[in-house]
Amino acid sequence: MRPVLLVLLVVFSLINQVQAGILFTPRLSLSAEYDDNIYFTSSDEISDLVRYFSPGFWFYLGENVDYLHIDYEYQRVTYTHHPGQNSDRHYLSLKGQKVWSLWRLSLKDVYMHSEDPARLENLVGNINYAHLKYDYHRGRVSLERRFGEKNRFQINYYNFIFKKRKPYKEHTYSNYPSLQLLYWFSENCGVELELGKNWAQFDYFDDFRELFASSTLKYRLNPWMEWQTKLSFSDMRFLGSRADYRLYDLGTGLMIQLAAKTGLSLGFGAFKQAVEGEEDEKGLSAYVNFFRETGAYHLFLEASTGYDEIYFDGEDLGFSRYSVVGGKLSGLLGANWWINLRLFHRRDHFIQSANDVIERTWSANVYLSRKLNRYLELSFGLLHLEREANLSVYEYRDNRVWLRLTLLKRFSF
């Protein structure tokens, strides 16, 4: 993945060199955080006051549809009473796009080095919480060719790396190329096809090869409502003792445009997991999603149940029956404050794990920020993470509150 990224960086850096605008925003943040469970234990919690020194920058090059965006931040983290937990952390995000007539090349890449698993919760998912050295990388490169008014063919390549270090090393790798085709037979009827293969490698679990295929029939009932029916198939082959399986999933649903920036999607389906040498797993799935966006706020609500395949989250517990409910809200609070709220609850039953693990997780996040002037921004946050499980090794509870002051200056060229 790295050579590809280097090539794309060169390409994106040449985007309309003469006409393209350049924005460069260096920043420096100082933060103080109170954490009531720095070791993520299920009992005998130990608290500490944590300080962050965080220089970084935003870089934007582009104009119209062609752009390159880079976001980088370094953190020096210092614990007041537990200096053995002091660490250096890094975050890097790359996004870019280049369009030639009917072709579009796009890039998205995220890298994070951290010893705080809570910072990875939204990226990786469930993690066996501990203060280890984590390296997270997820990249995607897409080449799209449009033909006709609404049709497109797309080649994708996904790369995922997750490493845990100290006191032991554990690496996870995934390479996933795929092909996608969206074709509309008429103004109202179309089909979307996808074919992909995933090569996954683990240090302590069975490697696997997964072949994935799906077909989605789309039909526009009217200008504000679309009906979809999707059939997907997955063939999972493990290179070890774990049982191979095939997964069949059939679902149908509606996408409803309630207003210009307000939508509702809902649907239901059924799935079957055919495991070699074992009894088939069968179940139902359902989902309801709602979003609304205005000039002042953005709201997203979600409720769903069904199955999930969790192999890249640091625990590799595998096939899960899950249910989740939650929502996110971001927007203006009064004239000067920006607020971001996030609240989710999830239940997982890993039916093929060695210990038949059942987990319930809660996450709540409140983030407030205010610009004091052109160069100073003040932010405040609360975080609650909690997991209950039938095995105590998977349990934890963590509460945090932090205050952050950011100095920044924008330069345009």
5-9, 214-218, 258-262, 342-346: least confidently modelled range: 5-9
Residue 136, pLDDT score: 86
How many Å apart are CA 211 and CA 119, to the nearest integer?
A: 31
Residue 134, pLDDT score: 81
Q: Read out DSSP for 142-176?
A: EEEEEETTTEEEEEEEEEEEEEEESSS-EEEEEEE
In the CATH hierarchy, which fold is given to the domain comprising 2-412? Maltoporin; Chain A (2.40.170)
Residue 44, pLDDT score: 85
What is the band of 18 on the pLDDT scale with cuts at 50, 70, 90? very low
Q: What is the separation, in whole angstroms, between the first and last Cα of the chain? A: 31
What are 209's two structure tokens? Answer: 């090869």
Q: Where are the chain's structural domains? A: 2-412
What is the band of 62 on the pLDDT scale with cuts at 50, 70, 90? confident
Model pLDDT for residues 352-361, shown as the tens digit of each residue? 887 888 999 9
How many Å apart are CA 40 and CA 32, to the nearest integer?
A: 19
What are 180's two structure tokens? Answer: 């996608």
20-24, 68-72, 82-86, 364-368: least confidently modelled range: 20-24
Neighbouring C-beta atoms of residue 218, cutoff 10 Å: 19
What are 251's two structure tokens? Answer: 């679902």
pLDDT exceeds cutoff 50 at 123: no
pLDDT exceeds cutoff 70 at 364: yes
pLDDT exceeds cutoff 90 at 213: yes
Strands 151-165 and 396-408: unpaired
pLDDT exceeds cutoff 60 at 28: yes
What mean pLDDT is predicted for residues 257-261?
A: 92
Output the average pLDDT for the chain: 89
Neighbouring C-beta atoms of residue 98, cutoff 10 Å: 20
CB 319 within 8 A of CB 309: yes
Residue 102, pLDDT score: 92
Residue 371, pLDDT score: 92
Model pLDDT for residues 187-207, shown as the tens digit of each residue? 999 999 999 999 999 887 889
pLDDT exceeds cutoff 70 at 125: no
Q: Which residues are bridge partners to 328 per DSSP?
A: 300, 342
Residue 314, pLDDT score: 60
Contacts with 3 (C-beta within 8 Å, 6 or more apart), sequence order: none
Q: Which residues are bridge partners to 348 per DSSP?
A: 322, 359
Q: Residue 49 corresponds to which amino acid?
A: L
Contacts with 234 (C-beta within 8 Å, 6 or more apart), sequence order: 210, 211, 212, 213, 246, 247, 249, 309
Q: Is the pTM of this model over 0.85?
A: yes
Neighbouring C-beta atoms of residue 329, cutoff 10 Å: 15
What is the band of 50 on the pLDDT scale with cuts at 50, 70, 90? very high
Block residue for tokens 């932090």: 402
Q: Which of 303, 279, 301 is nearest to 292 (CA)?
A: 301
Residues 15, 17, 19, 20, CA torsion sign: positive
How many Å apart are CA 287 and CA 301, to the nearest integer?
A: 11
Q: Read out DSSP for 227-266?
A: EEEEEEEEEEEEESSSPPEEEEEEEEEEEEEEETTEEEEE
Model pLDDT for residues 279-299, shown as the tens digit of each residue? 899 999 999 999 999 888 999
Strands 66-79 and 87-100: antiparallel
